[in-house]
Structure 1
Amino acid sequence: MPENLRQELREALAQARGVLQDLDRLGLGALPMPPLVADPSICPPNVRGLDRGGMAPCRSETLDEIHADLGDCQRCPLAKRRHHIVFGVGAPRARLVLVGEGPGREEDERGEPFVGEAGRLLDRMLFAIGLERSEVYICNVIKCRPPGNRDPEPGEVAACRPFLERQLAAIAPEMILALGRVSSQSLLGDNTPISRLRGQWRDYQGIPLLPTYHPAYLLRNPAAKQEAWEDLKQVLKRLRGSG
């Protein structure tokens, strides 16, 4: 050790010894330690912030914690055929969350939602209102691909629902865009046809939710793109108004 560092160390030790001797003369044989405060527990999905309704303080769960808890999920039969769990992508504090139905073939292969043809259309829809994929959060009602891209069965939706609820609670977005019938009906608990649900703001646990058509539907029915555009303009208006 260089001599200059040895000298600095000796001086620091001498100062510390002097402080301890002064404290001892004052009758302070030990320094009081502040009480240890346990980390707050995680808030339930329908609670945001701290100390709601007399509850103990709690903290928001992180997306990484939820993903870790999901693990190599085997909670429903879809796990047997999947290639990848499709958890979700985007900004963890996004103002807007888009919720689709479930992974398709390309999504299952890559482990990312909306990367096929419908995903490319979704990217263009976002671009039309001045947003990029990285600025929003995108996920699905279910996280594993149903065989043949069929609609999810009630048991499959039920198995994934707690994780979707936790994702939405962790992000706490300003609004949700529900893409398609399955997403809209699942989040709202309403079996009204998507043609009647779309374009009408609803409420999901205190968060404004707007149902609209799924991009895959728009690819099959281009005439519906005008209605979807009207829905997107509503989202843009709210984003500007709250920004």
Structure 2
Amino acid sequence: MISASDLTPAELAALLHFHADAGIDWLLEDEPVDRFAEFEAMRAARRGARAAQPRTEAPAAAARPQTERRQAAKPAASPAAAPPRATPAIPDEQAVEQARFAAESARSLSELKTALEAFNGCNLKNSARSTIFASGTPEGRIMVIGPMPSADDDREGAPFAGRAGQLLDRMLAAIGLKRDEILLTNVIPWRPPGNRAPSPPEIEICRPFIERQIALAEPKAVLLLGNITARHFFGSTETIHGLRGEWREISVLGRTIPAIASLHPQELLTAPVNKRLAWSDLLIFKNYISAEILG
């Protein structure tokens, strides 16, 4: 095992950053703690507490006739609970048509947000806390799109929240961008239960809304983050490792837009070794927007 005294200050700093990205807040207790002994002591204390409890029986209950005791033992009828309210299921084809009509009716991003919040044709909305719409500004003509809201996004009501969002902020800052200067959004506006991948019907129901967002924002360059996002726009079944780092054109409502895919910040938190790949993609993105947008 390598001792900390054998590492240079730069190596120690890199190691601490690695642990921080992995979610480790502390490394050692101030004093050694025997967790096994703590657990056994806790179990023994619980057994002792149960053994010390006196067993009492109500004498009146034993004196009552057997028939009366049986009747008393019957649980009292509880009032019927009201069934949970749920949005009636809509056939997928009909839901897609309703989503398309609602999206096409919007003439601005604010109108589209209102239409999305009123739309009830996707079952994902029933389990999500928030409807996550685009944040930032379309004036920068740069759009960053992720796959779906995380638990942090759902809780805070904004895209790219929590640790993944903080990492994205640092990634953008490294190429001279800020989140309030661009537009951030997701393909799916509602967090799927348990962070599962959205189903193909769910993606198709949400497709008109994300396409309308892009059409109204009119970006000149799009950064696609994550597997689901890249596959959605590139129409491919390859993984993000096969789709990243190369400019492609995506067609949205008759408009062609240059787009490049990279790894999602959450994937980088899970596997920090992939940060070098993301950095390479960001440099390609920076060079393009510097020449074509920022001028």
Q: Identify the TM-score tier after normalising by the shorter chain.
A: 0.7 to 0.9
**In the TM superposition, what are the counterparts of 1:1-243 in structure 2 within 5 Å?**
61-205=107-251, 206-242=256-292, 243=295
1:235 aligned counterpart, secondary structure: helix
Find the aligned partners of 1:178 and 1:143 in 2 and give their Cα distance: 15
1:191 aligned counterpart, secondary structure: coil
Find the aligned partners of 2:192 and 2:117 in 1 and give their Cα distance: 19
Summarize deviations over 1:3-62 as a string: whole Å, max 9, x none: xxxxxxxxxxxxxxxxxxxxxxxxxxxxxxxxxxxxxxxxxx9xxxxxxxxxxxxxx931
Find the aligned partners of 2:229 and 2:107 in 1 and give their Cα distance: 23
Find the aligned partners of 1:210 and 1:117 in 2 and give their Cα distance: 23
Find the aligned partners of 1:126 and 1:136 in 2 and give their Cα distance: 10
Equivalent residue pairs, number: 185
Find the aligned partners of 1:75 and 1:87 in 2 and give their Cα distance: 16
One-letter amino acid matched to 1:119: G
Find the aligned partners of 2:233 and 2:162 in 1 and give their Cα distance: 24
Find the aligned partners of 1:84 and 1:154 in 2 and give their Cα distance: 21
Q: How far off its partner does 1:188 sit? A: 1.5
Q: How far off its partner does 1:150 sit? A: 1.1
Q: Is the 8 A contact 2:138 2:218 kept in 1?
A: no
Q: Is the 8 A contact 1:63 1:92 kept in 2?
A: no
1:79 aligned counterpart, secondary structure: helix
How well do the aligned residues superpose, as a CA RMSD in angstroms? Answer: 1.4
Q: How far off its partner does 1:106 sit? A: 1.5
Summarize deviations over 1:196-237 as a string: whole Å, max 9, x none: 100011111211110100110011111110110010001110
1:204 aligned counterpart, secondary structure: strand
Q: How far off its partner does 1:111 sit? A: 1.1
Q: How far off its partner does 1:94 sit? A: 2.8
Pick the structure with greater CA Rg.
Answer: 2
Find the aligned partners of 1:153 and 1:87 in 2 and give their Cα distance: 20
2:139 aligned counterpart, secondary structure: coil
1:185 aligned counterpart, secondary structure: helix
The equivalent of 1:32 in structure 2 is: none
Find the aligned partners of 1:211 and 1:104 in 2 and give their Cα distance: 19
The equivalent of 2:74 in structure 1 is: none
2:285 aligned counterpart, secondary structure: helix
1:93 aligned counterpart, secondary structure: helix
One-letter amino acid matched to 1:228: A
Q: Is the 8 A contact 2:138 2:219 kept in 1?
A: no
Query: Which is richer in helix?
Result: 2
1:102 aligned counterpart, secondary structure: coil
Q: Is the 8 A contact 2:219 2:257 kept in 1?
A: yes
Q: How far off its partner does 1:109 sit? A: 1.5
Summarize deviations over 1:47-85 as a string: whole Å, max 9, x none: xxxxxxxxxxxxx93101211221333121111111110
Structure 1 residue ranges without an equivalent (≥5) = 1-44, 46-59
Find the aligned partners of 2:233 and 2:120 in 1 and give their Cα distance: 23
Find the aligned partners of 1:79 and 1:138 in 2 and give their Cα distance: 20
2:118 aligned counterpart, secondary structure: coil
Amino-acid identity (%): 40
Find the aligned partners of 2:187 and 2:230 in 1 and give their Cα distance: 10
Structure 2 residue ranges without an equivalent (≥5) = 1-99, 101-105
Q: Is the 8 A contact 1:142 1:157 kept in 2?
A: yes
